[in-house]
Amino acid sequence: MSDWTSPKFDRSIGLKKRILIAAVVVILMTFAAYAALFVAPTESKMGTIQRIFYLHAPSGMVALLSFFVCFVGNLAYVFTRKPKWDWLGVSAAEVGMAFCTVLIITGPIWAHPVWGIWWTWDARLTLTFVLWLLYTSYLLLRTLVEDPDRRALISAIYGIFAFLDVPLVYGSIRWWRTQHPQPVIMGGAGSGLEPTMRKVFWFWFLNLVILMIFLIRERYALEAMRGEVQSIEREAEAT
């Protein structure tokens, strides 16, 4: 078993395999799209627009998962100081941002016909926006520090602070005001999805997790290569 965190691993896996994995991801996503559009039943009150739910809700869950991966990477970097954890941190943050952006865009598309408004300052919407801002700041901070070790360290600590803030932001807004539907998935008694809808939902979640892992891996390989180039450049400068 080779070490997946080493940049050399990436070359050993080869371009063909990576293209193959990408193809599998694309096929799975096609199946998922088919399932959401044709397999899942039409919701009785909201109609067809409700099908956006299969992209919307799992995107949010996967975005949070990515930010958690980023948090783990940040913590590991602070304690081990191995560049690979920094690479994982930035990769996961960027992928999380992508899913978060999908969440923010699909939300209003769904909300407008159903609630009659594009946006409302409710707990989960506001949390998503604040999350988006926090991780934009994280990525921005990274562009403003030259030295790679310094950049890795201070952005890791900011990342830790940002993730610790998430439950506090959610808690404060939740106390303050809320309009979003109560969690349907894993919610309290009386909530729940129709069985086919539930299957499609979890299929989507699984797919997006696979997509997330794929994207993080690819982004990680890029960052690893970048790190290697930088260290070679520094060596060349030194001699």
Partner 1 sequence: MALLSNTAALLGKELRTEFRSRELLTTTVVFILTIVVLFSFTFDPSVSESRRFGPGLLWLAFLFAASLMLQPCFLREQTNDTLGALRLSVSDAFAIFLAKLAANTLFLLFAQVLLLPVFSILYNVPILAAFPQLVLVMFMGSLGLSVTGTALSAISAQARMRELLLPLLLLPLLTPVLIASTEATAALLVPNPIMPWNWLGFLLAFDVVFLTALWLFGEYLLEE
Q: Which residues bind partner 1 (CB under 8 A)?
A: 78, 130, 133-134, 137, 140-141, 144-146, 150, 153-154, 157-158, 160-162, 164-165, 168-169, 171-173, 175-176
Residue among 156 and 221 whose Cβ is closer to partner 1: 156
Shortest spacing between CB 83 and partner 1, in angstroms? 16
d(CA 71, CA 109): 30
Distances from the Cα of 170 to the Cα of 65, 166, 167, 173, angstroms? 16, 6, 5, 5
Shortest spacing between CB 221 and partner 1, in angstroms? 27
Three-class secondary structure of residue 96 per DSSP: helix
Residue among 90 and 215 whose Cβ is closer to partner 1: 90
* Centroid of chain to Cα 115: 26
Tokens 């939300």 sit at which residue? Answer: 107
d(CA 198, CA 191): 12
Residue type, 162: A
Residue among 162 and 221 whose Cβ is closer to partner 1: 162
d(CA 222, CA 91): 9
Q: How many CA atoms lie within 13 A of 190 on its CB side?
A: 1
d(CA 124, CA 114): 17
Residue among 130 and 213 whose Cβ is closer to partner 1: 130
Shortest spacing between CB 151 and partner 1, in angstroms? 8
Residue among 52 and 127 whose Cβ is closer to partner 1: 127
Shortest spacing between CB 135 and partner 1, in angstroms? 9
Shortest spacing between CB 38 and partner 1, in angstroms? 40
